[in-house]
């Protein structure tokens, strides 16, 4: 996963962020912290599989998020279906 793809997901899902050594990003719903991930400042691709697991998405769902066919509301429904909300 490219850094700009990560940033696109963070924006589409409306995740909160904090810039430290890495960019920390977490998804909040109704005041609760639901998922959490991060983007390293280092070079090279980010580990797709591990970020997918942290966001509690399937491979296809993460690809949909990258191509912008999955947005915030869709993510909420996925997380609700998994009992994470």
Partner 1 sequence: MPTLAGRIQFSGPSTVEEEESLHPGTVEVPAIPVVLRESLPRLIPAQLLLGSLRDPRLRIVDALQVVISQEDGQIVAEAVELNEFGWGANLGEALADLQRTVAELYLQLAADQKRLGPGLQAVWDTLSAKIRPR
- Using CB under 8 A as the binding rule, whether residue 17 contacts partner 1 is answered as no
Interface residue with partner 1 among 19, 32, 73, 81 (CB under 8 A) is: 32
3-state secondary structure the chain: CCHHHHHHHHHHHCCEEEECCCEEEEEEECCEEEEEEEECCCCCCCCHHHHHHHCCCCHHHHHHHHCCCCCHHHHHHHHHHCCCC
Which span (3-11, 25-33, 59-67, 68-76) binds partner 1, by CB under 8 A? Answer: 25-33
Exposure of 1 in the CB half-sphere (CA atoms within 13 A): 24
Interface residue with partner 1 among 14, 41, 45, 58 (CB under 8 A) is: 45
- Using CB under 8 A as the binding rule, whether residue 63 contacts partner 1 is answered as no
Which residues contribute to the site for partner 1 (CB under 8 A)? 20-22, 24, 29, 31-36, 38, 40, 42, 44-45, 47-50, 53-54, 56, 83-85
């Amino acid at each position: 996963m490219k850094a700009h793809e990560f940033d696109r997901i963070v924006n589409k899902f409306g995740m909160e962020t904090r810039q430290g050594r890495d960019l920390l990003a977490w998804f909040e719903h109704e005041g609760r912290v639901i998922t959490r991930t991060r983007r390293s400042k280092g070079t090279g691709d980010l580990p797709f599989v591990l970020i997918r697991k942290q966001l509690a998405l399937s491979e296809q769902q993460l690809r949909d998020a990258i191509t912008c066919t999955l947005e915030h509301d869709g993510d909420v429904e996925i997380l609700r279906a998994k009992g994470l909300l």
